[in-house]
């Protein structure tokens, strides 16, 4: 068994696509119209284009807002992405104007940082020494 697809709820799919591709560096994989303005919109890591996909899912379901509001209020990331070097990625993303809610923090062999994805979510990046 392996992870094939996971999702993050986003307020605006077009805005999310720009952020996740232009800023974070993911590559668009699927963009299928679903009627109206909704799309089946996924991105992948350019390092593993056939690997796990991240669905940029419209945040329209009534349960999404209270769930994301509670996570945001408590500072809990919705997802975690692996990077080779958190400090280097932190610097790169700050140059792109990304707002961090947690600067790089070393916790034993793991370093993490948390940023706002501009689409309603906190995302954690992590690397291991």
CA angle (56, 58, 59) in 5-degree steps: 115
Q: Is the pLDDT of residue 13 over 90?
A: yes
Residue 124 pLDDT more than 90? yes
**What's the domain count of the chain?**
1
Tokens found for residue 42: 């996924």
What's the pTM value of the predicted model, to 2 decimals?
0.94
Q: What share of the chain is helix, strand, coil (3-state, %, to 5)?
A: 25, 40, 35
Structural domain harbouring 39: 5-128
Q: How far from chain centre, in Å, is Cα 44?
A: 11
Q: Give the tens place of pLDDT for each residue, 39-73.
A: 999 999 999 999 999 999 999 999 999 999 999 99
CATH of the domain at 14: 3.10.180.10
* 129 and 109 Cβ atoms separated by less than 8 Å: yes
pLDDT bucket at 129, cuts 50 / 70 / 90: confident
Give the model confidence (pLDDT) of 66-123 as tens digits: 999 999 999 999 999 999 999 999 999 999 999 999 999 999 999 999 999 999 999 9
């Amino acid at each position: 068994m392996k992870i094939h697809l996971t999702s993050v709820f986003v307020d605006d799919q077009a805005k999310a696509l720009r952020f996740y591709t232009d800023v974070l560096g993911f590559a668009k994989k699927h963009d299928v119209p679903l009627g109206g303005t909704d799309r089946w919109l996924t991105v992948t890591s350019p390092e593993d284009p056939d690997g796990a996909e991240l669905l940029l899912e419209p945040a329209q379901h009534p349960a999404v807002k209270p769930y994301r509001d509670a996570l945001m209020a408590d500072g809990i990331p919705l997802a975690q992405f692996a990077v080779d070097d958190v400090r280097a990625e932190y610097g790169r993303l700050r140059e792109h104007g990304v707002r961090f809610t947690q600067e790089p923090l070393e916790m034993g062999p793991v370093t993490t940082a948390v940023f706002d994805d501009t689409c309603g979510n906190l995302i954690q990046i992590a690397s291991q020494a």
